[in-house]
Every structure is written in structure tokens, then in C-alpha cells.
Structure 1
């Protein structure tokens, strides 16, 4: 009897189609209103557009972005073969920035807990459950902190299209949502991609932008209000400073999404998570916290926790003129 053969028992893998259906079902149970699957091939069709965007200096204030990594999911994680992309809604019809008398406006995604603290654990638990079914499976959770083209992956996965405001639109389900991505080391059958955009001749989002940061399907971060209220403490150009003061968007900006016709009756977020009664959304501007201790207390466990109190005070000063 030969002792030189491989005596390991072969691992029996799940049927890929059944496994994909199970993953989709479990992701929907975790709160994702739409889920799709895409291959992790490079975005070769985006290379010319992305290179032009960087060469025009559009990424200068977003130093963490690298075009080579953005164009290829496998540059981020070499084992990636399939991307599961989920859309997690966050807006609520009764949570409207600036609705409280005298209040400033904070983007709807800032009204609940830090979404990273919601989505990452849910995707991690899903990954652990998936590995129990497919023991050799590896994965990586991505929730907008990795250099990954989530919106392009979502379109490739058939969830929707990238609108003229550059955000993902799920058709009648709208655009108020986070994208969570689970990169998987196995090749699963991909969903049919969205090959057509349905913005048509509408330019409502472009016209609504307070600072002129939007062109069709292109955003200039150097003119975007969110860049200066969230991403960087750099001094904004005069047009942005004026737009901050006139629009009263103190953290983020929803103007383009508010104007989008596809958001007339969107899928709404979980009221237990989003639209909480934080004083940041309800207090008159003059009563908002300015001290470091007050600020840290108000932003604890929210997506605003990466904004320093001095950054917040500088934004308030631009809006209130003091």
C-alpha cells in the first residue's frame, strides 16, 4: 500500500448560486435594502476619466485617494474575486435639516450613530456566518474608509447608476443610503450590471449646488461645502465661504439630493437608528456648543467625531459671521 498519496479529505463547497442567494438574504436581514454581486476586475473604462480628474487637481484635498488603487479592487486586496455591495438607507421623512427654528443644517447621514459602527459589525458578522458555511472563504469589509470605487462597484452589481450629482441612485428607491462592501475570495455568479443612467436632461442637482461644485457626473471637491466642513480645516475659497453663510450647511450638504426627483419617495432608514433628537439639529445656531468639552459630548459615537472642535468653531464663524 502506497503511503505517498495525499490523504486529506476534500472540502465540499456550497453551490455558488445557493450560497449567493443565502448571502443576499442575510444581508437584507441585516438592514441592507438592496444587495448585488459584482466581479472584482479592474475598472479599465474609468481610467481616462479618473486620470483627468486627478490631473486637474480635483483630488488635492483628498490626499488618501490613489488612482491606481481605486481602479483595481485587487490592488486593495489581492484575494478579491467577488464584491457583495449593499445599500443601507439612512434618511427619514421627518428628519429635515434646518427645520427647527433658527437651527443650522447637518447632513442626514449625521443624524444617527456613526454608520461605520453600524455597518462594519453587521458585515463582519455576515462574513463570520459565511465562513461557517464555506470554511476556506476569506473576506474584507469595506465601509467607505478604503480606497475603493464603491459606486462603480454598485453599478456593476446592478444596484443602480451614478447620477449627475455623482452619488448612486437606485431608481425609485432614491439615493439616501450608505454603501457597504464585502470583498470575497471566491468567484460567485455576478448580477447584471446597470449599463444606463436615467438622469436624462434633468439638471436639478447641478442647479441646487450652493457653490457650483457639480458638473454633470463630476464633483470638484475644492468647491464642495462638505470638503470644508468635514474633510479638511483648510481655508475655503471665497465662493465656498459665501455659500456656507447663505445655505447654513454646517456639516455636510444634502442640497443636490434634496433636489433630485428620484428622492421624492425613497426607501427610508430605520427610525431606531437615524433621525435622533440631537441638540445639534434642533438648537438655534446661537446656542450650539462651542467649547471643546461640550463638542466632544455632543459628537460622541457619531460620524462627526473626526471633526475637531476648532474645525466646528471655524465653520460656525463662517456661517454666523463672527
Structure 2
């Protein structure tokens, strides 16, 4: 087991909480941060709205059906970025090893901290209190010997919680955990694990490494390690985002012209994830995998960055038309991505994104 001390800090319902903080009339009521419209998706939902089933990346029209009395607020990303910077400044008081994942979460390596606090748990408590006092928001934190466990821990007592996984407690903690809690395990992988009798992380440990590799390739090795609480990934400060993507496998292979709905849903996920980035993507990528497992990609770099989820989806659909294959060819997977990220401080593009 690793000897590092890692904290994962995750702001609670970040965008919605900023809106409630800045407008007293929104406190205690269900708040949905989203543009209105058929193509709009939910950027964030307050905990009051989540009680009705509203979630991030959900179509805004669905959120309105689930919670008709919710207050819809258009997102203000420049303001969220400013608040995020204030939170990050607090992190940097304690360690220079800060790896932001998005505007609302980050990893911190506090194996050695700058403030002389006696434990990683004390550092996490102090950070949460400083965020509360100085930014007037709440954050949840997880403390563990590696990034994988710390991220799971931060979600364990949300909202406004702190959870610690000590090195000698990791295996026992993981044993009964559902496989879906592991990074990279989506519906398809979970289904394939269920086929071999695996439903919990403890079940994975009962499988031979060779069996996992045979069934899942390189990811089988990763599953083998995660089931044992092993994660050697270091906290990497200032690591720039290279790409953001989302992909999904169809339950049964489909024709190219039957991928519209999936491409639009994936575009919504990617667009929402990209709103949390401080840098701006220039290139749109479409990925397709045939029934025979051949992978095709098509990409486009427009003259200006995409300015809406709808535009992203439309470009991805247009890229599909550049695929020249037999009309009867079937596909098992589709993916949408953004890449070629640029720093708006160097290449100012804010007006194009938030007009």
C-alpha cells in the first residue's frame, strides 16, 4: 500500500451553491443551473433539486418535468472561475502539489504540508473550514493513501463531509463496494463483470489476473490493482487537459444513420464537462467502432470554438457524413470528444463562448 497522503476535495453542488450564496432568495429552494431550451442540459443542481431526481448532464426539459417549481438560473462561468481560483489559493497555502480536475474538484498531495499540521486529516479539516469561512461555501473531502481511494472517500459523506481511508483499512473498505464505484466501470463493463459473477470489488479479487486480462485486456490489469487498493498515479500540478470525450456502446450493433440520438447525448456530456475547464477546446472529434472492432475517427477544427452544445452536436453529426463505408456496415460504439485545448489568457476566446 502507498505511503503517500492524498486529499481529494470536491465542492458541493458548486455552480448551484455559488448561485444560492449570491442570491439569498435561492437559498433552501431547488435551483437548476441551466439555459432553458430543448437542447439545453443541466450544468448543476442544488441538493434541494436533487431530491426530485434532477442531475447534472440531464436534459433541462426533463429536469423541469421532475421539478416544475425549480428555479432555473443561466450559468455564469466567469464568476464560477473566479470562485474556483479563490478555493485553489487556499489549497496552495498547504501544498504546491495541487492537481485540479475541474473548477470544482482537485487532488492534493500533502505527504509533506507547508503549514506544519500534524496529519492529512487535519489538513483536510483546515481546508474545509477555510473554504467555509473565506468563500462561504461547503466542500467534501476524502483522505487516503492514493488518488483512487481519496476520490471515492470524498463522495462517501457528501455534502459537507470528510471521510478517511487509512492504508490498513483499504482492503476491508473496498470488499463490499459495488464494481460501478470503480473508475472506468460503466454499464457495459459492469454487465460483462456480472456475466462472470462479479458484483463487488471483493469479487474481482477472487478472479485470477489472467482471467481479467483475457476478458478486459489492459484494463483487466487496472481492475486487478484497484481491487487491491493500488493506484500509483501521482498528483500532477498544472497538468493541462489534452482532451475531453465520452463514448458508449450500443446494446446491439446499429447502422450509421441510427446514431443520431447517441451522438447528441454524448455531445451533451462532453459539453457539460468542458464548461468546467479553464482552457478552451478548438477541435471536435467523432469516434466510431465497427461491429468488427475497427476504429474510425474524424475531426474538425472550426475557425472559432464551438459556442453551444447544439453546435458541438451538429458538427459531430456532420463529421459522421465524412465516413465512407458500405451502407450496411454496422457499428457497436460511438464517441464524441473535444481536443486541442488553448489557454484563453494567451488566446482570448471568452467572448465567443459566453456571448
TM (norm. structure 1) is: 0.26
Which structure features the higher share of strand residues? 2
TM (norm. structure 2) is: 0.24
Relative contact order: is structure 1 or structure 2 higher (C-alpha 8 Å, sep ≥ 6)? Answer: 1
